[in-house]
Structure 1
Amino acid sequence: MKLSLGRKIRAAREKQKLTREMVCEDESNITIRQLARIETGKSLPTLTKLTFLADKLNISLNYLMDDSYIELSKEYIILKNKIIKQTIYKDPTRVEKINLLFDQMYGEFYDSIGESEQVVIDVLKATTDVLVFENIQFESGLLKEYLQQSLIKQELIEIDFLLIYLYLLYTYGKSTSYKMTSTTNKVLKKIISNSNYSNDLNAYLAIRVHIFALHFLSELKDYETYKKLLDISKMISEENQEFQKKPILQMMEAKYLLFHLSDIEKAKETYVVAAQTAMLLGDNIAHNQILLEMDKDLKLFETI
């Protein structure tokens, strides 16, 4: 099917004497490399990309789709969401569990899903590798190819949040000069500007990205933006009943109280509340991690 679809798209493009560059324009809808892979039958475009190509090439969407265009199965979506919501903490049991989920994903679904979903899975796997192997060194082709495309969108969707999270995670372990690139500034601005678009479809991912962005803003000592983003994250959490990250958001508030307002007692109280919330949610590892973070931050504050 992929090969047949690719041939149709290439034939339509060549008939109109259009280059791939002319079709892709500013690459905000589809990149030249993505189009090349589609035309050679190496990947399956999303419906959004397919609609764009049909319009650009002045051909019928039905002509391209036929009756065999692949829809995502419920089993695939459930498995993907399990992977997205796994919290690892480098716990061996959790690492083994998520590796088993990836084995199932690649074994049962990967070859039958479209390109954009394959990218989602690859980004999730790359993110897991960075989380598990903290000092891993790699040149991420995923970020090089797809991140800039995400940053020019008005509204971020699932893949965009995943790419931004991977970028922040990978960059966070680097030196301060490496972090403060123009790309990092664009990423932080995009997170802030997109906050009004977050909804129940991407609330969990938005909050996770916000938490990492808060770490960056803390290093920059931009506490005005920090507080704004923290309040937005808390609002998204409440409105969408996304409470899994609530203990971490409470911990980030404690950091604000400690490092910006220098309110040690209120900060201690908020750290403890965060740990208790984690316990109520059944996350004992998060409970212990928050208390360790509190001790580390209090010692750090004494040196400032």
Structure 2
Amino acid sequence: MLKHFGSKVRNLRVTRNITREDFCGDETELSVRQLARIESGQSIPNLTKAHYIAKQLNVKLDILTGGESLELPKRYKELKYLILRIPTYADAERLKLRECQFDHIFEEFYDNLPEDECLAIDSLQAKFEVYQTGDINFGVEVLCECFDKVKYKEKYTLNDLIIIDLFLTCAVVSKFNNRAFTKEVFQTICKTLISQNHKLTAEDLFWFNHVLLNCVFVGLCLNSEECLAEMLEVSRQTMVSTHDFHKMPLYFMYQWKYFITIDNDIKSAENAYQQSIMFSKMIDDKHLIKKLELEWQEDITGH
């Protein structure tokens, strides 16, 4: 796949006397490291980066690709969609299916994926392993490679959100061990997330909302009131604007926890609990209903 793409890019760039640094500019579209890996044949660019490269070289993309397609395989996109969209909620059958989905990607597609897609799959699988085993080393290894570039960004991509989700998972599983978590970085991410719903594409808003609610959960675990109300409101607005209510049960679960721990308002918490059950019934998720019922009993008994 695209065997000579990198060498063509390098030859054209060198012929035009353009350094990698000048070619990449502020590195918003393409980093010097990424260009070097593409030119050496170590990685394949995604469609966006390929168009940027062709534009910088002032050639048609077909000249670089030799007519080969840069579109991701349909089945790969389906598998990634299922991994991003369908939560497991610790259900044994869903966990087994998720493992099969990852196996399929690694066996059939991974070796020919662009670098950005490989990073997304690495991060999603690392989260799955951390979640399954309780061993944060699966996630820390990935975070060490890429989290520094993400944590202080002002605008997130889907990959950034996937990496942030891995950071949150490692934080919770490690019980906020300082090897995997710093409160300062977490608060910075929360403040940045609140402004992201108008900057992301519509197809990325589901995962944005997923990460937003995970940040609410972490904030509640830390007993930190900062940004919680704003994040819950942005989550609600996102679901209303996209007409996607699959996360409503979790939204109302975190709302009831907020009412109990922050506002000490049991009546409002009970109403939020009823809403969470109602939306779970709407999406016909019996496993989730049972988990919410148990969670409510624990929260109300412990109060």
Which TM class, normalised by the smaller chain length? 0.7 to 0.9
Aligned to 1:33: 33
- Quote the Cα distance in structure 1 between the aligned partners of 2:20 and 2:142: 21
Aligned to 1:121: 121
Q: Number of aligned pairs?
A: 301
The 1:260–1:49 alpha-carbon spacing in structure 2 relative to 1, beyond 3 Å, is same
Aligned to 2:239: 237
- Quote the Cα distance in structure 1 between the aligned partners of 2:26 and 2:292: 44
Are residue 226 (structure 1) and residue 228 (structure 2) matched? yes
- Quote the Cα distance in structure 2 between the aligned partners of 1:155 and 1:106: 30
Structure 1 counterpart of 2:274, one-letter code: V
Q: C-alpha offsets along residues 10-42 of structure 1, whole Å, 9 cap, x if unaligned?
A: 223334555545544554333343223211212
Aligned to 1:208: 210
For the Cα contact (< 8 Å) 2:123–2:139, is it kept in 1? no
Structure 2: segments with no counterpart, 5+ residues: none
- Quote the Cα distance in structure 1 between the aligned partners of 2:14 and 2:259: 61
- Quote the Cα distance in structure 1 between the aligned partners of 2:46 and 2:136: 31
Aligned to 2:252: 250
Aligned to 1:109: 109
For the Cα contact (< 8 Å) 1:70–1:113, is it kept in 2? no
Aligned partner of residue 292 in structure 1, secondary structure: helix
- Quote the Cα distance in structure 1 between the aligned partners of 2:167 and 2:58: 36
Q: Structure 2 residue aligned with 1:283, among 276, 282, 285?
A: 285
Q: Structure 1 residue aligned with 2:271, among 269, 272, 293?
A: 269
Aligned to 1:48: 48
TM-score scaled by length of structure 1:
0.86
- Quote the Cα distance in structure 2 between the aligned partners of 1:98 and 1:30: 32
TM-score scaled by length of structure 2:
0.86
Aligned to 1:78: 78
Aligned partner of residue 131 in structure 1, secondary structure: helix
Between stretches 19-28 and 79-88, larger displacement belongs to 19-28
Give the deviation of 1:209 after TM superposition: 0.3
- Quote the Cα distance in structure 1 between the aligned partners of 2:187 and 2:16: 40
Between stretches 258-267 and 107-116, larger displacement belongs to 107-116
Give the deviation of 1:45 after TM superposition: 0.3
Aligned to 1:131: 131
Give the deviation of 1:98 after TM superposition: 1.0
Give the deviation of 1:221 after TM superposition: 4.3
Structure 2 counterpart of 1:255, one-letter code: K
The 1:293–1:26 alpha-carbon spacing in structure 2 relative to 1, beyond 3 Å, is farther
For the Cα contact (< 8 Å) 2:129–2:135, is it kept in 1? no
Structure 1: segments with no counterpart, 5+ residues: none
The 1:114–1:224 alpha-carbon spacing in structure 2 relative to 1, beyond 3 Å, is closer
Between stretches 84-93 and 242-251, larger displacement belongs to 84-93
Aligned partner of residue 260 in structure 1, secondary structure: helix
Aligned partner of residue 195 in structure 1, secondary structure: coil
- Quote the Cα distance in structure 2 between the aligned partners of 1:139 and 1:20: 31
Are residue 142 (structure 1) and residue 139 (structure 2) matched? no
Give the deviation of 1:175 after TM superposition: 4.9
Give the deviation of 1:59 after TM superposition: 4.8
- Quote the Cα distance in structure 1 between the aligned partners of 2:120 and 2:89: 21
- Quote the Cα distance in structure 1 between the aligned partners of 2:56 and 2:184: 32
Percent of paired sites with the same residue = 28
The 1:78–1:65 alpha-carbon spacing in structure 2 relative to 1, beyond 3 Å, is same
What do you get for the CA RMSD once the two structures are aligned? 2.6
Are residue 91 (structure 1) and residue 91 (structure 2) matched? yes
Aligned to 2:190: 188
Q: C-alpha offsets along residues 164-198 of structure 1, whole Å, 9 cap, x if unaligned?
A: 11121112233546233543333223212213334
- Quote the Cα distance in structure 2 between the aligned partners of 1:199 and 1:3: 31
Aligned partner of residue 263 in structure 2, secondary structure: coil
The 1:18–1:177 alpha-carbon spacing in structure 2 relative to 1, beyond 3 Å, is farther
